[in-house]
Amino acid sequence: MLRAEGLRKAFGGQVVLDGVNVELHRGQVVLLRGENGSGKTTLLNILTGNLEPDAGSIHYLADGSPRTYRFPRRWWQELNPFDHFVPEFVAREGMGRTWQDVRLFGSQTLRENITVAEPGHPGENPLMALIAPARSARKEKQLRDQADTVLSRFGLAGREDSSADKISLGQSKRVAIARAVAAGAKILFLDEPLAGLDRQGIADVLSLLKTLVRDHTLTLVIVEHVFNQPHLQGLVTTDWLLESGKLISSLRQGGEQSQLDPSLSIAHHPSPIVSRPAWFHLLAGDNAEIIDEPLTRGALLTRIRRPDRFKPDNPPILEIRDLVVKRGPRVVIGGESSTTGGMNLTLQTGEIAILQAPNGWGKSSLFSAICGHIHSVGNVLFRGQDINLKRSWDRARAGLVGVGSNDALFPSLTIRDAASLLPSISTTIRDQSTSRISSLSGGERQRAVMHFSNTRHTPGSSLAIYDEPFAMLDHAAAIEAARQIVNTNSSTIFLIPSSLAQQKETV
Amino acid sequence: MNYILHLLVYFNIYVIVAMSLNLVVGYCGLLTLAHAGFYAIGGYTYAILAINFGWEFIPAALAGAAVAAMLSLFVSVSAWRLKGDYFVMVTLAAQALIFSLLYNWTSPGEPLGSLKNLTNGPFGITGIPRPVLFGWRVATPAAFAIFSTVIAAACLFVLWRLKTSPWARLLLSMREDELAARGLGKNTRLAKVQAFAIASGLAAIAGALYAAHVRYLDPSSASLDESILMLSMVLVGGLGNFRGPALGAAILILLPEVLRFLHLPDAQAANLRLLIYGLLLVVMVHVRPQGLAGEYRIQ
């Protein structure tokens, strides 16, 4: 259905893809694997028309009329606006894709998100909309019914009129897949479809993908984080491994493993130490006292009190009293019922605290509220002083170090420039110091964030808060990040990782 | 009474302008400063066709709309690649280009509308005939007010049909996440061209209405101030829905008139009015950035 030959792509001299050959057949389910920065997302972007390769050719054969693009493109091909290598034309050849950050049309309802995908809708021609509104309305009615059927089949019945920015992450991922299928996708490229989901969300998306492969003989190409790859067993028929610019394709012994990964059925139990990821053990060290403290709505706060950092008579460094955070009209944190007030939380100086919570709990909102990026109601006491009315930069100066997830970089600066804003920088990242931050892969960016943040800690009694510190890092990189976190000058550390359920890597 | 009728005509003209501009700014999320240029092109086309060839209002206005829609390609094609500030710069350039064409396409002694003297330059075109509709000349102020209301209603009907169509939903999807829309196979570049052509064509019809009402036209109709006034109407009223721009047009037409009744000292009146006007805009942007009745906040 799709054949690509000799694909090459380099970013500023760094060769990412070097003669990649790809062949896809109907009903195949491909797992695309590779190290951080090996070009998984680049390959996905090229095959879906979002990025033009430097050389090679792509043949789209899924549709009745095959279409071939050869690269590099000639200048006269650019003169014809209907012959450009752009995502909309590639999508019409039956290529669909979903994004890691979902990208639904937030102000529209779920039903509209599905109906808008219909290819060749007569009402999308303004002239037809003007002179033949009845025809467009008939089609529209039919599409709305279809969309409702699709939504209810995907377990979203009753949510048709919800606005797309008001549903949970797991639901929105399913809607995004439904939307791509409604747009006529025959090959579906999924960029981390399980990322950020808890167990229930993963199970829902997986069963949806199975249905699509079985009933619609859809072809899937999945890029997934190493932690989530075991969930895909039984679904995947082919492995693609990207290594130093080459693609190695291998068939899996599929078929007999139709059961879901057994670990899925294990109930979500708080943290028995064996299920904790390797970075946790590194943070805890030896002889640490570990306290699990349940919070509201299924969250769990784990306090690590290492004898070298924590003294029992230490004063609290962060006290949160009656905190209520709203995003728009929606209450994200606090106010679960009319009787209980906001959220309460106290951290003692010297602790390493880890907050685990399901998706949609408001982890990122809590991070933003403590750092002062968003408005919140209630008291936030930092070293005894209420800072909740202070601006974020005043909080930073007072010793509150907030390290956001990887979007908190300056994308157009080079690594050297970004590092010069913050003096000391480790050597591993200096190797690439002239490339732009925007050219780094997701995992490399996260590493850069960790490196940069290290220079911001002031010695003494400061507090460092990390939002999703291990996101997009593979095993070794996560360990390295944890090592850096332990070695910072901050006395107290507060980690808010993405759901631990997916990070089942153990020592 | 004539004063009220005059205000009504102005409101009708600017309602068309603001609503058409909303199609581009509110629905596509593309900030343009070239709208007054297309408005003036409509006015000039009507004036020249009516004076030189005795055309009636409707064919002449439609011809103006066609010219404006064609010229809008220069702006919309650049929107294929450019976004945000860079796109605003392109529209600013287009606006300056149209203005200087209207200002400079003249040579003394040549007849108006000839290839050497198309626009009469800075002197403007005088004596534009009253509009003729199927042989009937719209002569009295009351008749013109009714005539302009009918034209505005027709334009709004077109916009309303478009607004409720799947095409508008496509524009909204494109505004929210263009990459996702393209990933679904939506030709967003074509949609931008369509939106700009329709918006510019409607602005041209409003321009023809203006030329027929005032009966004098000079290049100041295509000035940057005029574009900013149009944009202010949309921003004050609110983006992305139907009532917002209408409200904005009403406020920005009535505001100077209300200030006129404040009996400001003559010497400072004009400046003070501008000051009050500016202050209101600043307060507005701070207090309600999405406009008085808007749904969408421009980034």
Helix (H) or strand (E) run with residue A492 in it: strand A490-496
The reply to whether omega before B129 is within 30° of 0 (cis) is no
**A293: helix, strand or coil:** strand
A353, containing H or E segment: strand A352-356
- Residue matched to tokens 């994004």: A99
How crowded is residue A286: how many other Cβ atoms within 10 Å of its Cβ? 7
Distance CA A38, CA A27 (A): 26
Which of B161, B165, B202 is the best residue to mutate to test the A interface, defined by the most A CB atoms within 10 Å of its own CB? Answer: B165
Pick among B167, B170, B193 to test the A interface (most A CBs inside 10 A): B167
CB-nearest to B183 from A81, A87, A133 is A87
Q: How far, rounded to the nearest angstrom, does the alpha carbon of residue A188 sit from its chain's CA centroid?
A: 18
What's residue A506's pLDDT? Answer: 32
Chain A hits for B176, CB-CB cut-off 8 Å, are 105-108
Residue A259 CB neighbours (<10 A): 10
Reading the block at residue B13, the tokens are: 């003209």
d(CA B96, CA B219): 11
Asked whether the beta carbons of residue B179 and residue A50 sit closer than 8 angstroms, the reply is yes
User: Would you say A202 and A231 are in contact if contact means Cβ atoms under 8 Å apart?
Assistant: yes
Q: Cα-flanking dihedrals φ and ψ of residue A223, to 5°?
A: -105, 125
Tell me how close the Cα of B182 comes to any Cα of chain A, in angstroms: 5
Residues of A in contact with B174 (CB under 8 A): none
Q: What is the pLDDT of residue A170?
A: 80
Q: Which of A48, A88, A107 sits opposite B188 (nearest CB)?
A: A88
A72 in contact with chain B, both atoms CB, cutoff 8 A: no
A46, A52, A90, A248 from A8: Cα distances, Å: 10, 10, 19, 15
Cα A288 to Cα A305: distance, rounded to the nearest angstrom:
5
- Alpha carbons within 13 A on the beta-carbon side of A471: 26
> Quick check: A253 contacting B, CB < 8 Å?
no
Q: Is residue B17 within 8 Å of B35, Cβ to Cβ?
A: yes
The residue of A44, A89, A105 whose CB has the most chain B CBs within 10 angstroms, and thus the best one to mutate to test that interface, is A105
CA A159, A161, A166: angle at the middle one, nearest 5?
70
A411 has a chain B CB within 8 A of its CB: no
What DSSP line would sit under A224-251, residue for residue? --TTTGGGGTTT--EEEEEETTEEEEEE
- Confidence (pLDDT) at A425: 44
Q: What pLDDT does residue A329 have?
A: 61
State residue A250 phi and psi, 5-degree precision. Answer: -145, 140
Find the Cα–Cα–Cα–Cα dihedral B265, B269, B272, B274, rounded to 10°: 170
Which of B161, B184, B290 to probe by mutation at the A interface, max A CB count within 10 Å? B184
Q: Which of A326-330, B92-96, B212-216 has the lowest mean pLDDT?
A: A326-330
Tell me whether strands A187-191 and A219-223 are parallel, antiparallel or unpaired.
Answer: parallel
- Percent of chain B residues topping a pLDDT of 70: 99
At B16 the pLDDT is 96
pLDDT: which is higher, B261 or B254: B254
Sign of CA dihedral A451, A456, A462, A464: negative
CB < 8 Å to A131, chain B: none
Mark yes or no for CB contact B176/A105 under 8 Å: yes
Q: Which residues of A touch B186 (CB under 8 A)?
A: 88, 116, 124
Shortest CA gap B214–chain A (Å): 31
pLDDT digits (tens, 9 = 90+) for A406-440: 555 677 777 777 666 654 444 445 455 666 777 77
From the CB of residue B68, how many other CB atoms can be counted at a distance below 10 Å?
29
B189 touches chain A (CB under 8 A): yes
B interface mutation test: which of A89, A116, A140, A165 has the most B CBs within 10 A? A116
Q: Which residue has the tokens 């797992």?
A: A31
Q: Find chain B residues with C-beta within 8 A of A96's C-beta.
A: 183-184
Distance from the Cα of residue A35 to its chain's centroid: 16
Burial code (b: 16+ CB inside 10 Å, e: under 16) for A89-127 equals bbbbbbbbbbbbebbbbebbbbbbbbbbbbeebbbbbbe
Nearest to A41, CA basis, from A4, A6, A3, A9: A9
pLDDT level of residue B192 (50, 70, 90 thresholds): very high
> What pLDDT, on a 0 to 100 scale, did the predictor assign at position A99?
87
A103 to chain B: which residues are within 8 Å by CB? 177, 179-180
CB-based contact A116 B166, cutoff 8 Å: yes
Q: What is the pLDDT of residue B187?
A: 92
- Whether chain A has a CB inside 8 Å of the CB on B257: the answer is no
User: If you compute the radius of gyration of chain B from its CA atoms, what whole number of angstroms results?
Assistant: 19
The low-confidence residues of chain A, meaning pLDDT below 70, are 227, 253-275, 328-330, 335-340, 358-360, 405-409, 418-435, 441-443, 451-461, 499-507
Instruction: Check CB contact of A163 with chain B, cutoff 8 Å.
Output: no
Question: CA separation (Å) from B42 to A67, B208, B234?
Answer: 43, 5, 20
Residue A317, amino acid: I
In B, minimum Cα distance to A189 occurs at B183
Name the amino acid, one letter, at B202: L
Per-residue pLDDT tens over the stretch B158-189:
999 999 899 999 999 999 889 999 999 999 99
Q: Which of A407, A335, A395, A397 is nearest to A369 (CA)?
A: A395
Q: How far is CA B266 from CA A192, B256, B262, B291, in A?
A: 68, 14, 11, 32
Give pLDDT, residue B46.
Answer: 95
> Which residues of B are less than 8 Å from A50 in CB distance?
179, 183
pLDDT at residue number A499: 60
pTM of model > 0.80: no
Please tell me the distance from the alpha carbon of residue A304 to that of residue A284, in angstroms, as a whole number: 6
Nearest CA in chain A to B164: A129
- For residue B234, is pLDDT > 80? yes
Positive or negative, the Cα torsion across B226, B227, B228, B234?
A: positive
Task: Please check whether residue A186 touches B, CB under 8 A.
Answer: no
Residues B149, B152, B158, CA angle at the centre, nearest 5°? 140
Paired tokens of A200? 């229930």
Structure tokens at A461: 């009694």
Any chain B CB within 8 A of the CB of A252? no
DSSP labels, B6-30:
HHHHHHHHHHHHHHHHHIIIIIS--
Q: Is B268 on the interface with A (CB under 8 A)?
A: no
